[in-house]
Structure 1
Amino acid sequence: MSPLSDPQAIDKNGQTTRPFRFGVSLLTPGSRSEFQSKARRAEDLGYDILQMPDHLGMPAPFPALVSAAEVTSIRLGTFVLNTSFYRPALLARDIADTDQLTDGRLELGLGTGYNQPEFDAAELPFPSGGKRIDHLEHTIRELRRLFASTDHVPAVRQKPIPPLLIAGTGDRMLRLAAREADIVAFPLNAGIKPDTEPEKALAERVAFVREAAGERADDLELNLFIATVTVTPDKPDLSLFQQMLPSFSEEQLLQLPGVLVGSEQQIAEKLHHYRETYGISYFGAVEDSMEAFAKVIAHLR
């Protein structure tokens, strides 16, 4: 059964909601045995999907997913590909082969790429944001066209295309996601401004997507990127986020929806709140938080 068609749950207001899904992104390279051990650990901890980012200095996403498929039975996804690094026909080959070699477990996460130093290191031009979105739109059109052709070799196992996740925060990206994606992912800084309460900013972005999606709104799965999980009494390390959002105070950083701090039960209640209030049911953490977040997941199964 597709994860996008699982039976629905009922929230406290009597509304139908999607079941929770939990993902974890593995960030550090290593030997085959080390990587596969981490992949098995993620499944044992209760994660529904293992995800790979697409950054220089981290594991290459497609080979890593194929390696993880050898030792797990959970879903496998890119979170997210830097689409600006790829040409559609070459990307279609990698997607189709990976979908086949993972027995149809692939979820395809796409983004535009944002880190100029990575483009410089790859000896690629760094286009404007608008041109990067243009390329993403073109890539999605071409992937759909190529996979619809009976002549395309290799063929994807999941027809017509593996479940598509698009991550973004700006109006144009979210309109594209609302129109094209199965899953819409909100990053750490979704709609965030120094003078805006973070949860209100997220709520506005969710409302924007739903309005843009129109009749598709109820079909969309909504994802929130979880940047860090700290189960008290441990103190959260906010140094990375202070670099990313230097104008934010520590108090403001702790209010970010993707920064989870508290007891296991408190964090679980917050995720229930996100699902029942905003319809966000899919949460993806990173490797550093894999063990801590698993403690929270146990309260939500």
Structure 2
Amino acid sequence: MIAFTGFDVIDNENGRSAKVNIASPEIIQLPDNDILLACNFRPDKDAVYPFSIAIKRSRDNGKTWGEEQIVYRAAPRFIDGCWEPSFLLLPDGRIQLYFANENPYRQSNEQEISMIESGDNGLTWSSEITTVSFRAGFRDGMPVPATDGKDIYVAVEDNGNEQFKPFIVKNSIKDNWKEPVFAHSSNRYSTLKVPLPSSVYAGAPYLIRTSDGVYVLSFQTTENRTSNWELSTMEVAISDKPSDFISPSQPFSVPLNKEAKWNSLCDLGNQEIAAVSSTNFRSDKIGIWMIKGKIVKNEN
């Protein structure tokens, strides 16, 4: 079943046309078993259609999908877009939708993490964005949230020290991002127990908390590879808390001239997880691959 398809648009004022591509899908299943699917509308030309975050709902476990709902619109320019939506369900039933956002910074190359939320099971969404985090002069990006029922932890890529690294910005559910997490806040910290060199790229993090309370973090990295981030590979680390992640491993054996990027994780229960990647590790073409893994704790 196809939920979203790309579409062609024409701006009636300037006559320009563009293809709007669909990217960065993310799903969540709600307590009533409805499924929400969020994605990123990305026009292939500027000045035609706004970069946007859209959602659809399925009430039959993904067999059919309702009408699309655009919940946020940025500018119709690649340099002022919005990107990479990700859901979080809070204990009180609120649904939050996090995304990277250049739109508030049209005079610079900066980017923040923004959030909107729904109090009615995703039927309507807040019209005003909440700024979750911002590092002046840099680009917080690719947010993925998790919660322990008390606090919210959002994995972001942070390029405040040369190359992107996986960081976490946190806030209590009670405070709910009343103040953004700025550069030097104690609520912003590096995720890895053993830091990577500043020259190593490690971006596009993905964070989950399993049903057993284990935190699992993935990212794509050039560690022990070439310096070309396009040829980075997926690494996964674990922790019993949302910090000091250890035991990095690579789910896919990726040659140095190939890639495994734009990754995600899923808790399968019983200490088992699924790692998903866009990779060409076994062919000349990039495809979506999944591999199952078992969580094994050690001290390294």
Q: Structure 2 length as normaliser, TM-score? A: 0.30
**Greater helix share, structure number:** 1
Q: Structure 1 length as normaliser, TM-score? A: 0.30
Higher RCO (C-alpha under 8 Å, 6+ residues apart): 1
**Greater strand share, structure number:** 2
